[in-house]
């Protein structure tokens, strides 16, 4: 099922190793939200003393890690929170959540040949026109997920895989107030930062 024609959903498709850029732009629904130049500058600010920057690919073609995405979001007043997959997503207060970013494994292909390399891929999910959409840059078009309950089912299915991680994107005010959680939730909030080890030591990169 494709996006209804009368509803405009911005969907940036995959170019080279830039799915972190695509995920951010799809999340903000703005092709000018971030560019490769912007994320390269963030890399340099995070590790100015390194000749080979640890936050992107060795050749500088993209492949940005989680620290770059977090910094990009913070520059716009947002925070990125790691979701503990041991919890059920029904604890989330969806009305206070800006969107979601998934980090998933992905095959590396050279032409039509799949190469057995462990690579990662960033995917944005967002509520648009009353419908949640999968805005994966590798898709030909954005795929409607559906209602709140259908989103929760989608998240559960994704997190059944141990090698997938979910991150919640919220405004800084929502993060401070912890209002991305329902009031009756006993969820223990764990933020991911450059020193956190909660999400498998978070060395998650994107893929071409």
pLDDT tens profile 104-162:
876 554 444 443 445 678 999 999 999 999 999 999 999 999 999 999 999 999 998 77
In a domain, 55, yes or no: yes
Please give the model's pTM, rounded to 2 decimal places.
0.80
In a domain, 104, yes or no: yes
Question: Cα-flanking dihedrals φ and ψ of residue 28, to 5°?
Answer: -85, -5
Is 121 annotated as catalytic? yes
Contacts of 45 (CB under 8 A, 6+ apart): 71
Question: What are 56-81's pLDDT values in tens digits?
Answer: 655 545 578 888 899 999 999 999 99
How far apart are the C-alpha atoms of 75 and 29, rounded to whole Å? Answer: 16
Beta strands in 5-112 (DSSP E): 78-82, 99-110
Q: What is the CATH number of the domain that holds 143?
A: 3.90.70.40
Beta bridge partners of residue 133, listed in sequence order: 126, 144
Domain span holding position 59: 19-177
**14: which DSSP letter?**
P
Count of domains observed in the chain: 1
Q: Catalytic: which of 11, 19, 43, 55?
A: 19
Is 91 annotated as catalytic? no
Q: Catalytic: which of 11, 22, 55, 121?
A: 121
In a domain, 192, yes or no: no
């Amino acid at each position: 099922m494709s996006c209804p024609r009368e509803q405009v959903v911005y969907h940036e498709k995959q170019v080279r190793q830039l799915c972190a850029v695509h995920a951010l732009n799809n999340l903000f629904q703005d092709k000018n939200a971030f560019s490769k130049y912007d994320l390269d500058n963030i890399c340099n600010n995070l590790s100015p003393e390194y000749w080979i920057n640890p936050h992107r690919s060795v050749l500088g073609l993209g492949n940005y890690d989680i620290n770059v995405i977090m910094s990009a979001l913070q520059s716009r007043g947002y925070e990125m929170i790691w979701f503990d997959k041991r919890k059920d997503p029904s604890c989330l207060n969806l009305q206070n959540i800006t969107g979601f970013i998934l980090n998933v494994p992905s095959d590396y292909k050279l032409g039509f040949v799949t190469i057995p390399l462990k690579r990662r891929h960033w995917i944005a999910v967002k509520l648009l026109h009353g419908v949640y959409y999968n805005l994966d840059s590798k898709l030909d078009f954005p795929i409607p997920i559906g209602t709140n309950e259908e989103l929760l089912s989608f998240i559960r299915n994704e997190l059944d895989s141990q090698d997938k991680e979910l991150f919640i994107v919220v405004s800084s005010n929502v993060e401070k107030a912890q209002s991305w959680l329902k009031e009756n939730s006993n969820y223990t909030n764990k933020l991911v930062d450059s020193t956190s080890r909660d999400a498998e030591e978070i060395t998650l990169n994107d893929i071409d």
